[in-house]
Amino acid sequence: MNQDGQNQDGPSQGGQDEPWVSELQGRCPEWLRGEGPAADVVLSSRVRLARNLAGMAFTPRASQDDSELVMTRVRAQLEQLGTDRLSIDLRGCPKERGRLLVERQLISAALLAGRQRQAKGDANQDPRGVVTWLGDERLAVMINEEDHIRIQSLRSGFDLPSALRSADEIDDAIEATLDYAFHPRLGYLTACPTNVGTGARFSVMLHLPALAITGDLERAKRAAHDMALAVRGFYGEGTESAGDFFQLSNQTTLGRSEGMLLDEMALEIVPQIIEYERESRRKLMNTQRVLLEDRVHRALGTARSARLLSSEEAMKLLGLIRLGVVLRVIDDVALPTVHGLMLAVQPAHLSLAHGGELESGDRRAARATLMRDRMKSKGAG
């Protein structure tokens, strides 16, 4: 196996002995560190650039040979960008290991699933993969998702400018030797028309529990839709909110520069929503403190005593506990503990921590045990 986590004789099959599995599980990624600007409300910031290679059929219409050639070209270019990389070929990757990457937001569920080909009928063998930089998992490049290349840059807290700079550096390095599909009037060409132009998506992961408690969340979501923003769940498109965490992102890029999109998100839209949430928190603390304390301490009590928990229940509890920690209503739980559990309670993380895939009932029991152990009060024996 070489430095990229690949077998020298062929693509990695992601087996149980793959060193990257334990390596990823053993650390907290950048986006969950709870640091950075406005980290009380903004869990993470992400910039994603969609690119396609010139002269190649886009992924939805590409043949298997075309996709294989894209994989070869992109991975060869990324090999020139330093040694601290993990390159994973998702063909044949066991289910739990692939889900681990989704839960850590290194890949999308669509990339993991692959594309069903009528001729082959085996999406698991569709050429596709991801390259990420180890240490903090700030950068990842998905290959053969909806577009040939999806560059993703993540930062903890509200820090879109820093995320954009890192994404642009990788983008420039790839474009130095590979030609992108580009139109002088339209900009970067993409598989989905909403990404044509800059191909850039700016998004933030927001924690909005106070707006949910005060009943103002739906109004905030409607306002976001009115501003042509997408509001999605914890794992992006097609997912539901968990623990009052929401991804907010721009929906179109055509006719707007990266600078325009960045300014709208970083200077206008997101600061307003941050202030709405903070004002709701102040309102609760000043006028309904008992209600707030009851909510968060009930959640903490359940986390410390439950014997069975679904992932949805666990995330709902963790969202309320996080609110209590940030507002100092709870003083015997550390924020890193809460953030670590947000990953640890997810199905793949939980199953792999127990040596393999767990049945649903076993996961619920293991999740509750983990929550009880991690949420012990300081004075507990």
What residue ranges do the domains of the chain occupy?
19-279, 288-374
Average pLDDT over residues 299-314: 96
pLDDT of residue 11: 40
Confidence of residue 3 (pLDDT cuts 50, 70, 90): very low
Strands 139-143 and 129-133: antiparallel
CB-facing half-sphere around the CA of 221: CA atoms within 13 A = 16
Residues facing residue 44 across a β-bridge: 156, 205
Which residues of 187-337 form beta strands (DSSP E)? 187-188, 200-207, 229-232, 245-250
Give the mean pLDDT of the chain: 87
Dihedrals φ, ψ of 107, to 5°? -140, 165
Instruction: Provide the residue type at 2 as one letter.
Output: N
Fold for domain 19-279?
Creatine Kinase; Chain A, domain 2 (3.30.590)
Name the pLDDT band for 233 (thresholds 50, 70, 90). confident
- pLDDT given at position 260: 87
Q: Determine the pLDDT at residue 224.
A: 80
Q: Would the pTM of this model clear 0.85, i.e. be above it?
A: yes
Mean pLDDT in residue range 337-361: 90
Q: Are strands 182-183 and 149-156 parallel, antiparallel or unpaired?
A: unpaired
Write down the pLDDT at residue 1.
32
- 34-39 long-range contacts, Cβ below 8 Å, gap at least 24? 34/156, 34/157, 34/335, 34/336, 34/339, 35/156, 35/157, 36/155, 36/156, 36/157, 36/158, 36/159, 37/157, 37/158, 37/159, 38/157, 38/158, 38/274, 39/156, 39/157, 39/158
Please give the pLDDT value at position 14: 40
Taking 70 as the threshold, does the pLDDT of residue 9 lie above it?
A: no
Question: How many CB atoms sit inside 10 A of residue 156's CB?
Answer: 25
Q: Identify the pLDDT of residue 27.
A: 85
Q: Which residues contact 214 (CB under 8 A, 6 or more apart)?
A: 280, 283, 284
**pLDDT tens digits, one per residue of 126-151:** 899 999 987 789 999 999 999 999 99
Check if the beta carbon of residue 242 is closer than 8 Å to that of residue 315.
yes
